[in-house]
């Protein structure tokens, strides 16, 4: 159970330095076997809108309901809300409601008096008292026992708690941030969750999208975990191959950020060199659809938008060359596969490769006014950084 604020914010909303929330080193180690996400970035447009919503909600004292799949970073969102609120200097408490029995949850939340039950050798404050003037994060509230829901509702209404074994109410001032990975409306309809408690929670709702729906966050997260685990293992300067980046972008990530973190850690353990290959990740599958692949060009459109703002000469040539260079690298220099991937003839491809000086004994044509520089991350054309990940079509 994590008690104190352990998230850090680094960078800005610019593409080169995405905002990053992460548990500190000690907390990250303690969460190594957890299903929770240990880092969260706001690079994808979906995540940027989420961050804007968090920044609007945080300064108020409104109860917040964070909804999202397991491993999407719900606790990190809750910690960030607390960090941006007027309660940030006070305690942030966190309790997983699915991890304890009904009796233990009551004691953990409200506290107990000495002798109130077997094993209660001393009096103990509950999380509501501990987090007084601060924030309390209740994870997996959808799994609360039905009887416990009524007791929690009363505390939220009356703003006071009664310890187990006591009759004396204790006033509390706590902001509640609840989270769930189940549809509470369906739970209410099925009589598994109290409607009045749901309305109490559902003041400000934050819908946290799964990682597969915010592909712009995948590579920044992968590089973050690459550095974290690379440092722990004593590896230096480990990078992702362009083909590996595309593999990561094409995977569904059913386990979300937590699965990505584990995959990076595992790949580092088996990788024989400083470049992680697709086969090092041993992912179980790639995105598929009965009606064909779903194409998302959000990241590509963002990259082109940035290029348009820079207004380099021969912008179309820049984009075309970047597409061909990326596809050629992805196919590991195989012209037939590259032509098939781009749906152009091999003759057209060879003409373009010769034009860009990418064939043996060929030189770049002087008619091309822009300059291309190959970097570890992709290509820089006329000073504009183009990453292969931006050409993801899944």
Q: Which domains does the chain have, with CATH numbers?
A: 8-209 (3.40.50.300), 212-280 (1.10.8.60), 298-391 (1.10.10)
pLDDT at 351: 83
Give per-residue pLDDT as tens, 5-55. 333 443 333 334 456 776 554 444 434 334 456 677 888 999 999 999 999
First vs last Cα of the chain: how many Å apart? 37
Residues 6+ apart with CB under 8 A from 307: 315, 318, 319, 384
Q: Are 244 and 277 in contact (CB under 8 A)?
A: yes
Q: Does 305 have pLDDT greater than 50?
A: yes
CA angle 77, 251, 387 (to 5 degrees): 80
pLDDT at 122: 85
Q: Which DSSP letter does residue 254 get? A: T
Residues 6+ apart with CB under 8 A from 372: 321, 325, 356, 364, 379, 380, 381
pLDDT at 9: 40
Cα four-point dihedral sign 373, 378, 47, 22: negative
Q: Does 292 have pLDDT greater than 70?
A: no
pLDDT at 220: 93
For residue 205, the tally of other CB atoms under 10 A from its CB is 15
Give per-residue pLDDT as tens, 184-199. 998 899 888 999 999 9
Q: Does 77 have pLDDT greater than 90?
A: yes
Q: Decide which of 363 and 182 is more confident.
A: 182
Give dist(CA 144, CA 98) in Å, integer: 7
Residues 6+ apart with CB under 8 A from 254: none
Give dist(CA 188, CA 150) in Å, integer: 14
Give dist(CA 379, CA 323) in Å, integer: 10
Whether the predicted model's global pTM rises above the 0.75 cut? no
Least confident of 101-105, 290-294, 343-347: 290-294
Give per-residue pLDDT as tens, 356-384. 888 877 666 644 444 444 444 444 544 45
Looking at every residue in the chain, the average pLDDT score rounds to: 80
Confidence of residue 314 (pLDDT cuts 50, 70, 90): confident
Least confident of 177-181, 325-329, 379-383: 379-383
Give dist(CA 5, CA 120) in Å, integer: 29
Q: Does 336 have pLDDT greater than 60?
A: yes
Query: How large a percentage of the chain has pLDDT more than 90?
Result: 42
Q: Does 86 have pLDDT greater than 70?
A: yes
Q: Decide which of 238 and 386 is more confident.
A: 238
Cα four-point dihedral sign 58, 206, 200, 164: negative
Give dist(CA 106, CA 318) in Å, integer: 62
Mean pLDDT for 196-219 is: 93
Q: Does 263 have pLDDT greater than 90?
A: yes
Residues 6+ apart with CB under 8 A from 113: 120, 123, 163, 164, 165, 166
Helix (H, G, I), strand (E, B) or coil at 248: helix
Helix (H, G, I), strand (E, B) or coil at 63: coil
Give per-residue pLDDT as tens, 129-151. 999 999 999 999 998 888 889 99
Specify the residue for token string 């509501």: 128
């Amino acid at each position: 159970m994590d008690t104190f604020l352990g998230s850090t914010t680094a960078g800005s909303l610019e593409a080169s330095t995405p905002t990053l929330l992460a548990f500190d080193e000690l907390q990250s180690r303690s969460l190594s076997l957890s299903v929770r996400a240990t880092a969260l970035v706001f690079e994808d447009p979906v995540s940027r809108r989420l961050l804007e919503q968090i920044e609007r909600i945080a300064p108020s004292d409104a109860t917040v309901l964070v909804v999202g799949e397991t491993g999407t970073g719900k606790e990190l969102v809750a910690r960030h809300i607390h960090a941006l609120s007027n309660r940030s200097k006070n305690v942030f408490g966190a309790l997983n409601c699915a991890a304890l029995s009904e009796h233990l949850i009551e004691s953990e939340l409200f506290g107990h008096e000495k002798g109130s039950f077997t094993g209660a050798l001393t009096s103990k404050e509950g999380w509501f008292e501990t987090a007084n003037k601060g924030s309390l994060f209740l994870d997996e509230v959808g799994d609360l026992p039905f009887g416990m829901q009524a007791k929690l509702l009363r505390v939220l209404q009356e703003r006071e708690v009664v310890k187990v074994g006591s009759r004396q109410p204790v006033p509390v001032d706590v902001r509640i941030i609840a989270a769930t990975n189940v549809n509470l409306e369906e739970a209410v309809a099925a009589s598994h969750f109290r409607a009045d408690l749901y309305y109490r929670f559902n003041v400000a709702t934050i819908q946290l999208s799964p990682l597969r729906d915010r592909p712009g966050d995948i590579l920044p997260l992968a590089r973050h975990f690459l550095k974290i685990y690379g440092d722990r293992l004593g590896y230096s300067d480990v990078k992702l191959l362009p083909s590996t980046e595309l593999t990561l972008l094409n995977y569904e990530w059913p386990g979300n950020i937590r699965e990505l973190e584990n995959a990076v850690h595992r790949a580092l353990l088996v990788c024989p060199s400083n470049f992680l290959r697709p086969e090092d990740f041993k992912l179980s599958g790639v995105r598929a659809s009965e009606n064909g692949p779903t194409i998302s060009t959000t990241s590509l459109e963002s990259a082109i938008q940035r290029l348009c703002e820079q207004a380099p000469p021969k912008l179309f040539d820049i984009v075309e060359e970047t597409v061909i260079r990326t596809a050629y690298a992805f196919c590991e220099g195989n012209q037939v596969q590259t032509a098939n991937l781009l749906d152009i003839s091999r003759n057209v491809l060879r003409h373009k490769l010769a034009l860009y000086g990418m064939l043996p004994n060929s030189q770049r044509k002087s008619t091309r006014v822009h300059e291309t520089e190959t970097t570890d991350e992709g290509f820089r054309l006329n000073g504009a950084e183009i990453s292969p990940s931006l050409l993801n079509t899944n």
